Amino acid sequence: MNWKNLSFVALAALIVCVVWLYLDHSLLATGLVTIAIQVIAAFLWVWARLTFGIRSFHGTANPTAGGLVTSGPYRYIRHPIYAAILYFAWAGIAAHFSFVSVWVGLLATAMTAVRIAAEEKLLSQTYPEYAEYSRTTARVIPSIL
């Protein structure tokens, strides 16, 4: 299986899901709790981007040079950017709960899982220390491995 190509397809589908939720007015939260979750998710996303640096975004799940990042939010979650996207999206879905938005959210979650699987496969091939890091650090939700 070509993990890089699969991750690119998953990214494209994830983008379509987020755009769909936005156009369906199901992405931005309205209640106090869901807005708070989205603010925290946005903070997590920015913190992860700043910690990882410029090399943190690419279309395919392609490990970049520079070593494995385990500081900042990566100390607690292996995939804080994906976690932030999911937290943000599901808070919006909870605020505008509908059959369609839940299905789009489930598809977005599945596509995120594909991206995570691809990245973990490639990271374990590139960085031998990734195996130990993955044993001790939660994937998407802190304190849950």
Q: Is residue 145 assigned to a domain? A: no
Q: Is residue 120 assigned to a domain? A: yes
Looking up tokens 């939260």 gives 29
Are the CB atoms for 88 and 42 separated by under 8 Å?
yes
Q: Is residue 112 assigned to a domain? A: yes
SS (H, E, C) 39-93: HHHHHHHHHHHHHHCHHHCCCCCCCCCCCCCCCHHHHCECCHHHHHHHHHHHHHH
CA angle (96 as vertex; 94, 97 as ends), nearest 5: 65
14 burial (CB, 10 Å; 0-12 / 13-18 / 19+) is buried
Q: Is residue 144 assigned to a domain? A: no
Are the CB atoms for 48 and 81 separated by under 8 Å?
yes
pLDDT score, position 21: 97
Total structural domains within the chain = 1
Domain enclosing residue 38, as ranges: 3-136
Measured CA to CA in angstroms, residue 143 lies from 23, 39, 51, 58, 138 at distances of 34, 21, 20, 28, 6
Q: Is residue 93 assigned to a domain? A: yes
Render each residue's pLDDT in the chain as its tens digit; 145 residues: 688 888 899 999 999 999 999 999 999 999 999 999 999 999 999 999 999 877 666 666 666 677 888 899 999 999 999 999 999 999 999 999 999 999 999 999 999 999 999 989 988 888 899 999 999 999 988 876 5
Q: Is residue 142 assigned to a domain? A: no
Half-sphere exposure of residue 92: CA atoms within 13 angstroms, side-chain side: 26
The H-or-E segment that residue 15 falls in is helix 3-23
Looking up tokens 């849950």 gives 144
